[in-house]
Amino acid sequence: MANEDKDGYDPSTVEEKWQRLWEERGTNTFTREDLESAEDPFYNLMMFPYPSAEGLHVGNIYAFTGADVHGRYQRLRGKTVFEPMGFDAFGIHSENFALKQGTHPMDLIPSNVKNFKRQLKRIGGMFDWDHSVDTTDPAYYKWTQWVFLQLFNAGLAERKEAPVNWCPSCMTVLANEQVIGGECERCGTPVEQRRIAQWFFRITDYAQRLLDNLDDIDWSQTTMKAQSNWIGRSTGAQLHFPVLGRDGEETGASIEVYTTRPDTVFGATYMVLSPEHPMVDQVTDDGLRAPVYAYIDKASKRDLVARQKVDKTKSGVPTGGFCRNPATGERIPIWIADYVLMDYGTGAIMAVPGHDTRDFEFAEQFDLPIVRVVAGPDDAADAPLEEAYLGPGRLVNSGDFDGTDVSESVDAVTAWAQDGGWGEAKVNFRLHDWCISRQRYWGPPIPIIHCDVCGPVAVPESDLPVVLPRVEDFKPDDSGVSPLARVASWYETTCPECGEDARRETDVSDTFLDSGWYFLRYPSTDFDDRPFDTEITKRWLPVDTYIGGNEHAVLHLLYSRFLTMVLKDLGHLDFEEPYTVFRAHGLIIADGAKMSKSKGNVIVPDPIIAEFGADSFRMYLMFLGPYEEGGDYRPQGIQGPFGFLHRLWDTVVSADDGTPDPDVERKVHQTIRQVTEQVPQLSYNTAIAAMMECLNVVRAGGRDAVRAEVEPLVVMVAPFAPHMAEELWERLGHEGGLFDGAHWPVYDEEKATELTVEIAVQVNGKLRATISVAADASEDQVITAARSEENVERHLDGKDERRVIHVPGRLVNFVVG
RNA sequence: GCCGGGGUGGUGAAAUCGGUAAACACAGGGGACUUAAAAUCCCCCGCCCGAAAGGGCUUGCGGGUUCGAGUCCCGCCCCCGGCACCA
- Phi-psi region for residue A102, left (φ > 0), alpha (ψ -120 to 50) or beta? left
| Strand B positions within 7 A of protein Cβ atoms | 3-6, 11-15, 19-21, 23-27, 39-42, 54-57, 67-69, 80-87
Q: Strand A157-167 to strand A348-351: parallel, antiparallel, or no bridges (unpaired)?
A: unpaired
pTM comes to 0.92
Pairing of strands A317-324, A270-273: unpaired
The predicted pLDDT at position A302 comes to 67
Nucleotide nearest to A234 (CA to C1'): B86
Residue A3: predicted pLDDT: 35
Tell me how far apart the alpha carbons of residues A79 and A741 are, in angstroms, rounded to a whole number. Answer: 9
**With a cut of 50, which residues of chain A have pLDDT below it?**
1-5
**Longest CA–CA separation in chain A, Å:** 108
Query: Does ipTM exceed 0.85?
Result: yes
Separation between the CA of A805 and the C1’ of B50 (whole angstroms): 32
* Interatomic distance A312 CA / B77 C1' (Å): 26
Task: Give ∠ CA A213-A217-A220 in degrees, rounded to 5.
Answer: 120
Which pLDDT does position A2 carry in this prediction?
31
Query: Do the Cβ atoms of A337 and A315 come closer than 8 Å?
Result: yes
What is the per-residue pLDDT across A181-194, written as a single tens digit (0 to 9) for each? Answer: 666 766 777 777 78
Please name every residue paired with A157 in a beta bridge, in sequence order, or none if there are none.
A201
Q: Which nucleotide is nearest to A768 (CA to C1')?
A: B20
* CA–C1' gap, A649 and B45, in angstroms: 29
pLDDT tens-digit profile of A668-706?
A: 999 999 999 999 999 999 999 999 999 999 988 778 888
Note the CA–C1' distance, A385 to B3, in angstroms: 29
> What is the CA A71 to C1' B79 distance in angstroms?
34
Give the residue with minimal CA–C1' separation from B66.
A765
3-state secondary structure of A261: coil
Nucleotide nearest to A272 (CA to C1'): B87
The b/e string for A675-702 (b: 16+ C-beta within 10 A; e otherwise) is bbebbeebbbbbbbbbbbebbebbbeee
A710: Cα separation from own chain's centroid:
39
pLDDT of residue A390: 86
b/e map A592-605, b = 16+ CB within 10 Å: eeebeeeeeeebeb
